[in-house]
Amino acid sequence: MRLELVKRPQHSVLFSAISPLIALALTMVAGAIMFSILGKNPLDALYYYFIDPLRETWSLHELTIKAAPLILIAVGLSVCFLSNNWNIGAEGQFIAGAVAGSMLPVVFPDFQTWLVLPLMLVMGVAGGAAYAAVPAFLKARFNTNEILTSLMLVYVAQLFLDWIVRGPWRDPGGMNFPETRDFHAFAILPELMPSAGRANWGIVFAILAALVLWFILRKTRKGFEIRVLGQSPRAGRFAGFSSSRMVMVAFLISGGLAGLAGISEVAGAIGQLQPSISPGYGFTAIIVAFLGRLNPLGIVAAGFVLALSYLGGEAAQISLGLSDKAARAFQGMLLFFVLGCDTLIHYKIRLAGRSVRGGEATKNA
């Protein structure tokens, strides 16, 4: 006897629409249980996670800073996932974009003009896209598993960043700390409302990217091609669409947006390169993409929800003494319930019959 998943002939449109809300509710219930086991008051923990970060204006600005890279990366990942290309290495592409875009203010600090920031953004996009092109080429040319190659490249990028800020790009006047020189004024992403908080143009880039990709996916032939190849590669080939070309296009879009997120982060919230520039945005963006149902507009809302979990996790760590591992586990629960709800909405669990050997024995008898 065994359990197997059987695709439902029809699935509930209502439950498909509210699946993210169900997943969020289940996450809160499971999180409350986890907090209780850890000896914390679950109501206090959920308060610090979801309410406390929304009480102050400066905290709302911090929310947009956290949400911007999540939305940018997740919108790009949605193109990959919809086309059935599993880019798990957005974290590495985020770092690659940050490093490539930081070259101007770090290596050429005397080059100070209004052109610096636009060039940094372009170089960040190019860096992220180039890094994503590696697993894309390997899959298109050699049919290599893109999950493994893109994931392994994350660690290469992290180690390269750590080496470069401790070695050739280390600030000569930085008291031997592993960081680059501070970016000059022409290399800093402007803040939207400096008097109220630190929110910068990164959130504008994120929302614009979501709107543009929503239009492409819903209203253009290229969007139709992405969906067809993702749902039925065989039908796509009959329609004359190239799977290999789509692999490259999807990865370049995804990597470019991750690179833009990377350079926006270091040119905005951080202001320099450091050994660690991301708390795991590239991996959390996978949760954002699925929570938003791979719809760019839904991803915007999901990005703010996960950004809230980042700020709430920090608040819970400070106020309740939770570990950062517990905060990450809470985010992991959300991904688990999102995927679980979607699976059970589209599939039903069936208890299969006897094994083949048992069936043969019955027949021979």
Contact status, residue 109 vs residue 116, Cβ threshold 8 Å: no
Residues 6+ apart with CB under 8 A from 104: 111, 116, 119, 120, 123, 187
Q: Provide the 3-class DSSP secondary structure of residue 146.
A: helix
Average pLDDT, rounded, for the chain: 90
Rounded to a whole number of angstroms, the CA Rg of the chain reads 23
Q: Quick one: pLDDT band at residue 362, thresholds 50, 70, 90?
A: very low
Burial level of 68, CB count in 10 A (0-12/13-18/19+)?
A: buried
Residue 361: the pLDDT is 46
Residues 6+ apart with CB under 8 A from 51: none
Residue 353: the pLDDT is 66
pLDDT at 236 over 90: no
Contact status, residue 184 vs residue 105, Cβ threshold 8 Å: yes
- Mean pLDDT in residue range 305-313: 88
At 125-146, the pLDDT tens digits run 999 999 999 999 999 999 999 9
At 238-256, the pLDDT tens digits run 888 889 999 999 999 999 9
Residue 21: the pLDDT is 87
Using CA atoms, how far apart are residues 221 and 227, in angstroms rounded to an integer?
Answer: 10
Residue 348: the pLDDT is 84
What six digits make up the tokens of 188?
């800093």
Phi-psi sector, 271: left (phi>0), alpha (psi -120 to 50), beta: left
- Mean pLDDT in residue range 220-229: 92
The identity of residue 261, as a single letter, is: A
pLDDT at 52 over 50: yes
Give how far Cα 80 sits from Cα of 142, 154, 268, Å: 18, 17, 27
Contact status, residue 229 vs residue 64, Cβ threshold 8 Å: no
For residue 41, the tally of other CB atoms under 10 A from its CB is 12
Q: What is the pTM of this model?
A: 0.88
At 67-122, the pLDDT tens digits run 999 999 999 999 999 999 999 999 999 999 999 999 999 999 999 999 999 999 99
pLDDT at 359 over 80: no
Using CA atoms, how far apart are residues 194 and 341, in angstroms rounded to an integer?
Answer: 41
Burial level of 109, CB count in 10 A (0-12/13-18/19+)?
A: middle
Residue 250: the pLDDT is 96
φ and ψ at residue 253, rounded to 5 degrees: -65, -50
For residue 69, the tally of other CB atoms under 10 A from its CB is 33
Give the HSE-up count for residue 203: Cα atoms under 13 Å, Cβ half-sphere: 20
Q: Quick one: pLDDT band at residue 354, thresholds 50, 70, 90?
A: low
With pLDDT > 90 as the criterion, what percentage of the chain qualifies?
62
At 166-175, the pLDDT tens digits run 999 999 888 8
Q: 357 versus 332: which is more confidently predicted?
A: 332
Burial annotation 266-283 (CB, 10 A radius, 16+ → b, else e): bbbbbbbbbeebbeebbb
Q: Provide the 3-class DSSP secondary structure of residue 200.
A: strand
E strand spans, the chain:
3-7, 347-351
Using CA atoms, how far apart are residues 194 and 2, in angstroms rounded to an integer?
Answer: 60
Q: Hey, which residues does 347 pair with through a beta bridge?
A: 7
Contact status, residue 300 vs residue 306, Cβ threshold 8 Å: no
Q: Quick one: pLDDT band at residue 357, thresholds 50, 70, 90?
A: low
Length of the chain measured in residues: 365
Using CA atoms, how far apart are residues 309 and 325, in angstroms rounded to an integer?
Answer: 13
